Amino acid sequence: MLKQFKFIDLFAGIGGMRLAFERLHCRCVFSSEWDTYAQTTYAANFHEVPKGDITKISSSEIPTHDILLAGFPCQPFSISGVSKKNSLGRPHGFEDKTQGTLFFEAARIIRDKQPKAKLTSPFPTCVGTRAVARPSGAQLGSGLWADQLWARSGGRRWGHVRRSYA
C-alpha cells in the first residue's frame, strides 16, 4: 500500500492547490486563509473552515506534514501589482508589510516543521532575475532552499527550473 502524504495549505484561497493534491490521494491536515470570503468558499468546497491569519498561528499549532503548499499573494511582486503600488506611492516586494512578508511566514514554518517538499506559487519577479527584492540567507535561516519550477507552453518559454540555497 502506498503512503498517503500529508500536506498543509497556507494562504489557501478557495482551495485550488488542495484540490490538486487531494486528487493525488494526499491528505490535508491544516489550512490557513485570512480572507473571510475565501474561507466561506473553502468551507463550502472542503467542509472545513481554514484557520485565520498565519502570522498569529504558532508553528506548534501546525501538525506534522510531508508537503507544504503556500499560495502566498503575488501582488507585492507581480509586474502589475508593483506598477499599481508604485502609482499609489505604496511599498511593494518585501517592503509591503501586509502581503510582502508572508513569504517569511512560510519560511518560518518550513524551518520549524521541516517538510519533505514545498510548493509555492511561482512568479518570476519574486525569485527570478527581475526580483524587486530578495531575502538574504540570514532572513531565511540556514538550510532553507527553494525550487522555482516553471514550464514551457506551446514552445513559448515562460520560465525555468532553479534551485537556490540559503
Identify the pLDDT of residue 70: 87
* Residue 87: Cβ-neighbour burial (10 angstroms; 0-12, 13-18, 19+): exposed
Q: Tell me how far apart the alpha carbons of residues 55 and 67 are, in angstroms, rounded to a whole number.
A: 19
Strands 6-10 and 27-32: parallel
Please write the tens of the pLDDT for every residue from 83-117.
Answer: 777 777 777 666 766 666 777 788 899 999 999 98
Computed over every residue of the chain, the mean pLDDT equals 74
| pLDDT over 50 (residue 148) | no
C-alpha distances in Å from residue 136, one per residue of 63, 94, 133, 144, 164:
28, 11, 10, 11, 11
Known catalytic residue at 74: yes
Identify the pLDDT of residue 100: 63
Q: How confident is the model at residue 153 (pLDDT cuts 50, 70, 90)?
A: very low
109 or 162, which is more confident?
109
Please write the tens of the pLDDT for every residue from 32-41.
Answer: 999 999 999 9
Note the pTM of the prediction, 2 decimals. Answer: 0.70
Domains of the chain: 6-134 (3.40.50.150)
Q: Tell me how far apart the alpha carbons of residues 47 and 41 are, in angstroms, rounded to a whole number.
A: 10
Identify the pLDDT of residue 50: 97
Identify the pLDDT of residue 93: 66
Identify the pLDDT of residue 149: 36
Which of 26, 28, 74, 126 is flagged as catalytic?
74
Task: Classify the C-alpha dihedral 144-71-31-36 as positive or negative.
Answer: positive
